[in-house]
């Protein structure tokens, strides 16, 4: 396909998006009107979850239909509950200490959204809902392995939002015949702001586009079990459920589990009771390294999103159907063993330790090799250990007595996990709708604004903005 055709095609998408965004900004001046359109994006995916999950599975070859349905059930209602009723038009709350300053919400414009192959449906839903919540338009750049289901998803959404009187072009998608790296790069260079949810290549493309952007970092979640945590059966059930979810492709899956040496036996018993298949043979573990990382560095696409039974067969193990994840032990950390890297199928690895601070240092090394800025977790009731590990680990989210996914806490739901400068990202928190908002600060003169006073250089307390 000629370069000029791709450029013209993308330019036409952006022009239509800009026109739709301006119309929506002009006509959607109350929160209810906006939120009805936001709801339609999420509920359309929710209502069509079975067919979209089936299509995504068949096209991408990742995960299972049931798991993808569950992901939609968890994501789209969660996004709606995070956003509904929150002010994103007119004056909004000023959360800073700025007397006499009102904050007015404004759109950013057109949002370019780069999609992952492993999680296309819910990411379209979340990015679309977040964009439209702030009266932006968005254009979806699908992964080539999910281009058809992405087109279907967007077309379903367009029909529903148009029925509400909103412009259908508030959400568009690069069509399959144009879907390519070239088209995505062209889109990123023309949009007002971009989001990348996926691998480091996508994130780099967003931050190299010359436009503002939000990206994610690579996962490599570390999980630390401490000697005082008393419910190993519960912990093991949570680990197996999280690690097996969507056949291990979510970036919030545990990778290395750090286990006190004195608790190794009870840990293994709990994990096997919960559905783990323990690989103990050293030759099989070495074969696993070779199959998963054929060149010693990069993960094989043949294992991504595959079941424990399929990967087990690749290394000569007949894994029973009732086993939900594979489990093996390794020693060392970071560059000492390739098993310390992120692996995208249901395989948990564990190491044993006798020194808590030493294992925290090993977790840090694993993260600094791969996964800095992402998620990790700890199982303990010891506040000093929680604080120490949270202080030392270079992560943006640290979950206590939860898996790294951490869904049962106060953080807002999102498929796009900012990883800060650790992960070459612009934010170190969950990407949410309010990140896609420009603001205007409306100020008035303060008659009692505090000025400079003698002695201020010697004062270390917070300085008030006004004075009596």
Positions marked catalytic: 251
Burial class (CB in 10 A: 0-12, 13-18, 19+), 263: middle
Give the SS3 label for residue 297.
coil
Backbone region of residue 420 per phi and psi (left: phi > 0; alpha: psi in -120 to 50; beta: other values): left
CA separation for the pair 429, 426 (Å, rounded): 9
Contact indicator for 31, 62 with CB cutoff of 8 Å = no
Of 208, 234, 217, 22, residue with least CA distance to 107: 22
Q: Which H or E element spans position 271?
A: helix 264-274
Q: What is the helix (H) or strand (E) element at residue 90, kind and residue range?
A: strand 90-92
Q: Which two tokens stand for residue 224?
A: 């630390």
Q: Is 346 helix (H, G, I), strand (E, B) or coil?
A: coil
Measure the CA angle with vertex 176, ends 7 and 178; round to 5°. Answer: 15
How far apart CA 249 and CA 371 sit, in angstroms, is 14
Dihedral in degrees, nearest 10, Cα atoms 431, 436, 438, 444: -50
Residues across the chain: 468
Report the distance separating Cα 169 and Cα 158, nearest Å.
7
SS3 of 28-55: the string is: CCCHHHHHHHHHHHHHHHHHCHHHHHHH
Tokens of 274: 């919960």
- Any alpha helices (H) in 1-139, and if so which ranges? 3-27, 31-47, 49-60, 65-83, 120-133
């Amino acid at each position: 396909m000629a370069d000029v055709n791709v450029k013209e095609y993308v330019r036409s998408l952006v022009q239509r998006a800009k026109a739709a965004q301006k119309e929506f900004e002009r006509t959607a001046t109350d929160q209810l009107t906006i939120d009805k359109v936001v709801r339609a994006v999420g509920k359309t995916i929710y209502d069509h979850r079975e067919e979209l999950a089936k299509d995504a599975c068949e096209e991408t070859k990742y995960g299972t239909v049931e798991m993808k349905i569950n992901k939609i059930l968890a994501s789209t209602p969660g996004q709606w509950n995070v956003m509904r009723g929150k002010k994103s038009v007119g004056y909004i709350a000023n959360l800073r200490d700025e007397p006499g300053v009102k904050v007015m919400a404004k759109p950013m414009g057109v949002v370019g959204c780069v999609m992952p192959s492993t999680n296309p449906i819910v990411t379209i839903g979340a990015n679309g809902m977040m964009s439209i919540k702030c009266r932006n338009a968005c254009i979806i750049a699908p992964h080539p392995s999910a281009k058809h289901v992405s087109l279907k998803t967007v077309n379903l959404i367009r029909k529903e939002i148009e029925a509400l009187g909103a412009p259908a072009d508030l959400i568009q998608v690069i069509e399959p015949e144009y879907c390519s790296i070239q088209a995505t790069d062209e889109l990123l260079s023309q949009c007002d702001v971009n989001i990348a949810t996926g691998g480091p290549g996508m994130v780099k493309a967003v931050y190299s586009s010359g436009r503002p952007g939000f990206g994610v970092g690579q996962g490599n979640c570390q999980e630390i079990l401490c000697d005082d945590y008393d419910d190993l059966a519960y912990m093991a059930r949570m680990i197996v459920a999280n690690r097996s979810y969507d056949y291990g492709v979510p970036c919030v899956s545990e990778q290395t589990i750090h286990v006190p040496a004195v608790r190794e036996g009870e840990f293994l018993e709990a994990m096997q009771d919960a559905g783990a298949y323990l690989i103990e043979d050293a030759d099989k573990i070495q074969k696993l390294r070779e199959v998963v990382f054929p060149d010693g560095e990069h993960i094989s696409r043949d294992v991504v999103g595959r079941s424990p039974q399929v990967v087990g067969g690749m290394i000569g193990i007949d894994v029973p159907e009732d086993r939900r994840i594979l489990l093996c032990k390794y020693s060392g950390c970071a560059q000492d063993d390739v098993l310390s890297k992120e692996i995208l199928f249901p395989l948990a690895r564990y190491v044993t330790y006798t020194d808590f601070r030493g294992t925290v240092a090993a977790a840090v090394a694993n993260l600094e090799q791969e996964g800095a800025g992402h998620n990790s977790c700890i199982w303990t009731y010891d506040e000093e250990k929680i604080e120490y590990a949270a202080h030392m680990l270079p992560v943006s989210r640290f979950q206590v007595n939860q898996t790294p996914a951490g869904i049962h806490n106060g953080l807002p739901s999102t498929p796009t996990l900012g990883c800060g400068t650790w992960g070459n990202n612009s934010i170190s928190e969950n990407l949410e709708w309010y990140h896609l908002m420009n603001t205007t600060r409306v100020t008035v003169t303060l008659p009692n604004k505090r000025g400079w006073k003698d002695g201020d250089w010697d004062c270390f307390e917070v300085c008030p903005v006004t004075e009596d």
